[in-house]
Amino acid sequence: MDPQTIWIMIHVVLLVYWLGADISVFYCSLQIIKPANSRETRAAIAKVLGFVNAFPGIVSILMLPVGLMLASGKGLSPITGGWLALVWGLAAIWLLISVSAASQRGTPLGKTYATIDLWIRYVLIAVLTIAALLSLTGGAPFTSNWLALKVLLFAFVLVCGLGIRFTFAKFGPAFGRFMAEGSTPETEAGLRGPVMRVKPWVLALWSGLVVMALLGIAQPLL
């Protein structure tokens, strides 16, 4: 089987897990803020949310090296050979940091890992944006405009992910208060606020992923 076909399959699977998990997380959050659901039911849903929420972060890390493998195979990227190996090595380190941040959440070490992960995303967003704009205006490093637009959209999706992270940050403490105090107007409002405020970021992220998929499939001559 052609290696390019295998990488396309992996790319599609990653997209499905990213979008599917993100939709599941948002749906779970909507169920948690429903006053009609009991505290026990909402606690069970929160466990599911916490598990599924790990997938978008993992997929967002793997998507870049897999995408570069595809671009290299089509001759659209200068990142080949040893450079690709370096990208995979850095992605593996980043993945380890991200998983450690999630598994040690709430501890000093977990906060350190989360901060490192955050700064990696800041730098990556800047690098991808610059590379995409240079490609669109000068034809390099990526030699196809549709690929440059896809890279730019990937940076946009990462920005949306950070928007979700910051906007949703108060949900955890609010849920802890709800579990301790039960359902009151104050605890319900504390749960509902972050979920409602995160909706624009979520919709923007979903839209970005769909357009990225469309560009990858159509590969228009722009």
Q: Is the distance from CB of 205 to CB of 164 less than 8 angstroms?
A: yes
**Local structure of residue 170 (DSSP, 8 states):** G
Contacts (Cβ under 8 Å, ≥6 apart) of 149: 132, 136, 215, 222
**Local structure of residue 94 (DSSP, 8 states):** H
Rounded to two decimals, what is the model's pTM?
0.93
Report pLDDT digits (tens) over 49-63. Answer: 988 988 899 999 999
Q: Is the distance from CB of 49 to CB of 29 less than 8 angstroms?
A: yes
Report pLDDT digits (tens) over 67-123. Answer: 999 999 888 888 888 999 999 999 999 999 999 998 888 898 989 999 999 999 999
H/E stretch holding 114: helix 108-138
**pLDDT confidence bin for 2, thresholds 50/70/90:** confident
Is pLDDT of 221 > 90?
no
- What's the pLDDT at 204? 96
Secondary structure of residue 139 in the 3-state scheme: coil
Omega before residue 141 within 30° of 0, cis:
yes
Is pLDDT of 174 > 80?
yes
Q: Is the distance from CB of 60 to CB of 18 less than 8 angstroms?
A: yes
